[in-house]
């Protein structure tokens, strides 16, 4: 099954929470108000892609993985 | 889905309220509540303005914010013709869209990324501590002028690589520019002019409505000209990076004037907003029973107080969007080039999200994620949001360290600045008791 591996750039993440809104199964904010990846495979590809496009600080990078 | 009925024929909202009338902005919440409960997409009219739509509910505001292709940014102007005349290559990040906006945002992040902002927080806290130590004791003074407005002003200047000595002058210039803008945009102003063609307006960051920040542009422009005239310019500092920026993803570059305009926009956006946010928060700390002492005793609660302030008292009340194609929202037809106004002030008190107790300042309340609309939503989320939160946190911490008891001066009632977009205190006279 194909999916995404997700990286958050914490130097850029401002804690806007747009990724959490787009894909709540895959993202959360930690105690520093920075995004963390919960489970990339729990969200649909479309949700992940919406989160990447919707990040106001370009802090999410994804890599296609086969698994 | 487009419908046949032109939206201009939709009946006008019967609640007497227009977000651009500055007297309506003073205390908008009763009117916004009535509109929110009856007219999720309200047609608002004023004899001097084209009809517009007002979005008052949290979920619809979120939908609009997160669909920038259908609902394009236009700065703070509501004049579609003038914004269109400036073209897609606006120098105002707040009015830019698509690739242009993304490239401008990446340029601005050279200065305003969280990791860069973090480097400035300790020195800014030191500045705040020194400033706080100079505040008079036992006598009335204006906390806005003497304290709240100064900290973000210095912070913004330093983060953008500008000298401290210019920071307070910028604040004065920005305030003058904003009041000028208010006078031209609000239909209730007798100085109202609908269209003011102005090259200066375009140069100043595309704020439609006339010459906004000429002194600020001169001051920032001087720094850039000096750098260009320097036979041995420093390399690798922020100004060097800004002037030589080429956006890798889009190939977009910016000339010196565009960099200057962008810096001035960021200075303008970072001054009265954050200073006003700090002022609004301190006002609540002095008027909500027990709040001052509770925060003083447990500083970890300051972040909650900041978020509750941004929910209940967002400094920026609203933002306009231009509809880019015929569409509909909550069953109401929207026509291409119609203006819709998102009311963050209303969405932040939406009973469907926050329950019935929306008007109280409650740092223990439960929030959705993101918590509120106070910093906007989507790809245009305030680029200074991180900086504003961190600077406010440091400022409040410093104030609570230095001051055990402070009270609002007798006879004061909250009065906002003139600008209809902002609800921040014009003055906040206080007395430090101990």
Question: In this complex, do B378 and A12 lie within 8 Å of one another by their Cβ atoms?
Answer: no
Compare all CA atoms of chain B with the CA of A20 and give the residue at the minimum distance: B369
Question: In this complex, do A56 and B380 lie within 8 Å of one another by their Cβ atoms?
Answer: yes
What CA–CA distance (Å, rounded) separates A16 from B340?
23
> Which ipTM value was assigned to this complex?
0.95
Average pLDDT, chain B: 89
Question: In this complex, do B113 and A54 lie within 8 Å of one another by their Cβ atoms?
Answer: no
The predicted-structure confidence for B132-164, as pLDDT tens digits, reads as follows 999 999 999 999 999 999 999 999 999 999 989
Question: In this complex, do B370 and A24 lie within 8 Å of one another by their Cβ atoms?
Answer: no
Q: Which of A44-48, B86-90, B209-213 is predicted most confidently?
A: A44-48
Question: Which of B60-69, B207-216, B230-239, B267-276 bottoms out in mean pLDDT, i.e. has the lowest?
Answer: B207-216
> Would you state the pLDDT for residue B292?
98
> Would you state the pLDDT for residue B208?
37
Does residue B360 have a pLDDT over 90? yes
Smallest CA–CA separation between B184 and chain A, in Å? 31
Smallest CA–CA separation between A37 and chain B, in Å? 16
Smallest CA–CA separation between B429 and chain A, in Å? 33
Q: Which pLDDT band holds residue B33 (cuts at 50, 70, 90)?
A: very high
CATH number for position A57: 3.30.70.20
The predicted-structure confidence for B227-283, as pLDDT tens digits, reads as follows 999 999 999 999 999 999 999 999 999 999 999 999 988 998 888 899 999 999 999
Instruction: Provide, as residue numbers in chain B, all residues whose Cβ is less than 8 Å from the Cβ of A11.
Output: 113-115
Domain count across chain A? 1
Q: Which pLDDT band holds residue B25 (cuts at 50, 70, 90)?
A: confident
Instruction: Provide, as residue numbers in chain B, all residues whose Cβ is less than 8 Å from the Cβ of A15.
Output: 386
> Would you state the pLDDT for residue B202?
39
Judge contact between B340 and B71, C-beta under 8 A: yes
Judge contact between B317 and B343, C-beta under 8 A: yes
Task: For residue A42, give its domain range.
Answer: 2-66
Question: In this complex, do B378 and A11 lie within 8 Å of one another by their Cβ atoms?
Answer: no
Does residue B196 have a pLDDT over 60? no
> Would you state the pLDDT for residue B204?
38
Q: Which pLDDT band holds residue B190 (cuts at 50, 70, 90)?
A: low
* pLDDT, mean of residues B57-83: 92
What CA–CA distance (Å, rounded) separates B122 from B252?
34
Compare all CA atoms of chain A with the CA of B68 and give the residue at the minimum distance: A54
Does residue B193 have a pLDDT over 70? no
Question: Which of B42-46, B242-246, B319-323, B359-363 bottoms out in mean pLDDT, i.e. has the lowest?
Answer: B42-46
Question: In this complex, do B105 and A11 lie within 8 Å of one another by their Cβ atoms?
Answer: no
What CA–CA distance (Å, rounded) separates A22 from B66?
10
Judge contact between B381 and A19, C-beta under 8 A: no
Query: Which of A13, A14, A47 to substitute to test the interface with B, most B CBs within 10 Å?
Result: A14
Of B106, B115, B377, the CB nearest to A58: B106
Does residue A60 have a pLDDT over 90? yes
Question: In this complex, do A17 and B115 lie within 8 Å of one another by their Cβ atoms?
Answer: no
> Would you state the pLDDT for residue B195?
34
Question: In this complex, do B381 and A14 lie within 8 Å of one another by their Cβ atoms?
Answer: yes
Question: In this complex, do A24 and B66 lie within 8 Å of one another by their Cβ atoms?
Answer: no
Question: Which of B3-12, B89-98, B248-257, B312-321 bottoms out in mean pLDDT, i.e. has the lowest?
Answer: B3-12
> Would you state the pLDDT for residue B324?
96
Question: In this complex, do B105 and A12 lie within 8 Å of one another by their Cβ atoms?
Answer: no
The angle at the Cα of B291, spanning B408 to B149, to the nearest 5 degrees, equals 50
Of A13, A20, A24, the CB nearest to B114: A13
Q: Which pLDDT band holds residue B205 (cuts at 50, 70, 90)?
A: very low
Does residue B108 have a pLDDT over 60? yes
> Would you state the pLDDT for residue B23?
79
Question: In this complex, do A17 and B369 lie within 8 Å of one another by their Cβ atoms?
Answer: yes
What is the token pair recorded at B213? Answer: 């920040």
Compare all CA atoms of chain B with the CA of A15 and give the residue at the minimum distance: B386
Q: Which of B205-214, B225-234, B282-291 is predicted most confidently?
A: B282-291
Compare all CA atoms of chain A with the CA of B106 and give the residue at the minimum distance: A57
- Could you tell me which of A40, A32, A30 has the C-alpha nearest to residue A1? A40
Of B113, B375, B385, the CB nearest to A12: B113
The three-state DSSP-derived secondary structure of A43-61 is CCHHHHHHHHHHCCCCCEE
Smallest CA–CA separation between A2 and chain B, in Å? 26
What CA–CA distance (Å, rounded) separates B241 from B258?
14
Judge contact between B35 and B42, C-beta under 8 A: yes
- A–B CB contacts, 8 A cutoff, strictly below: 56
> Would you state the pLDDT for residue A1?
53
Q: Is B227 exposed, middle or buried (0-12, 13-18, 19+ CB in 10 A)?
A: middle
Q: Which pLDDT band holds residue A67 (cuts at 50, 70, 90)?
A: low
> Would you state the pLDDT for residue B81?
84
Q: Which pLDDT band holds residue B169 (cuts at 50, 70, 90)?
A: confident
Instruction: Find the helix or strand (DSSP H, E) in which B35 lies.
Output: helix B29-38
Of B113, B379, B385, the CB nearest to A11: B113
Q: Is B64 exposed, middle or buried (0-12, 13-18, 19+ CB in 10 A)?
A: buried
Does residue B3 have a pLDDT over 80? no
Instruction: Provide, as residue numbers in chain A, all residues whose Cβ is less than 8 Å from the Cβ of B388.
Output: none
- Could you tell me which of B420, B152, B156, B395 has the C-alpha nearest to residue B282? B395
């Amino acid at each position: 099954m194909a999916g995404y591996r997700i990286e958050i750039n914490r130097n850029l993440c401002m804690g806007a929470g747009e990724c959490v809104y787009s894909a709540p199964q895959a993202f959360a904010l930690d105690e520093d108000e920075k995004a963390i990846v919960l489970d990339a495979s729990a969200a649909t590809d479309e949700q992940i892609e919406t989160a990447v496009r919707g990040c106001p600080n370009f802090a999410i990078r994804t890599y296609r993985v086969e698994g | 889905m487009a419908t046949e009925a032109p939206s201009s024929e939709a009946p006008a909202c019967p609640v007497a309220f227009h977000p651009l009338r500055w007297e309506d902005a003073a205390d908008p919440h009763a009117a916004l509540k009535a509109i929110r409960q009856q007219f999720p997409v309200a047609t608002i009219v004023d004899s001097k303005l084209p009809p517009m739509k007002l979005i008052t509910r949290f979920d619809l505001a979120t939908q609009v914010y997160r669909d920038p292709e259908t609902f394009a940014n236009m700065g703070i102007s509501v004049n579609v013709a003038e914004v269109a005349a400036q073209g897609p290559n606006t120098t105002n990040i707040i009015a830019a869209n698509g690739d242009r906006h993304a490239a401008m945002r990446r340029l601005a992040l050279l200065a305003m990324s969280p990791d860069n902002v973090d480097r400035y927080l300790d020195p800014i806290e030191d500045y705040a501590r020194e400033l706080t130590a100079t505040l008079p004791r036992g006598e009335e003074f204006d906390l806005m002028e003497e304290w709240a407005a100064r900290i973000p002003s210095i912070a913004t200047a330093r983060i953008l690589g500008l000298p401290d000595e210019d920071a307070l002058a910028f604040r004065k210039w920005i305030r003058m520019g904003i009041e000028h803008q208010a006078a031209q945009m609000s239909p209730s102003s007798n100085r109202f002019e609908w269209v003011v063609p102005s090259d200066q307006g375009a140069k100043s960051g595309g704020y439609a409505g006339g010459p906004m920040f000429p002194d600020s542009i001169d001051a920032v422009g001087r720094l850039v000209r000096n750098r260009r005239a320097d036979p041995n310019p420093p390399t690798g500092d922020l100004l060097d990076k800004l002037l030589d920026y080429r956006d890798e993803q889009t190939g977009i570059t910016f000339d010196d004037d565009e960099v200057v305009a962008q810096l001035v926009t960021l200075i303008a956006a970072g001054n009265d907003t954050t200073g006003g946010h700090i002022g609004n928060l301190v006002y609540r700390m002095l008027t909500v029973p027990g709040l001052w002492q509770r925060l003083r005793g447990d500083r970890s609660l300051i972040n909650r107080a900041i978020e509750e302030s941004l929910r209940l008292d967002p400094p920026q009340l609203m933002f306009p969007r231009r509809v880019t194609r015929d569409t509909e929202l909550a069953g109401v037809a929207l026509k291409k080039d119609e203006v819709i106004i998102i009311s963050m002030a209303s969405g932040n008190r939406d009973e469907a999200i926050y329950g019935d107790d929306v008007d109280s300042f409650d740092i223990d309340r439960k929030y959705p994620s993101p918590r509120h609309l106070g910093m906007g939503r989507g790809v245009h989320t305030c680029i200074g949001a991180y900086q504003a939160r961190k600077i406010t946190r440091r400022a409040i911490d410093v104030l609570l360290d230095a001051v055990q008891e402070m009270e609002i001066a007798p006879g004061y009632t909250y009065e906002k600045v003139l600008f209809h977009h902002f609800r921040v205190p014009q003055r906040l006279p206080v007395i430090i008791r101990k």
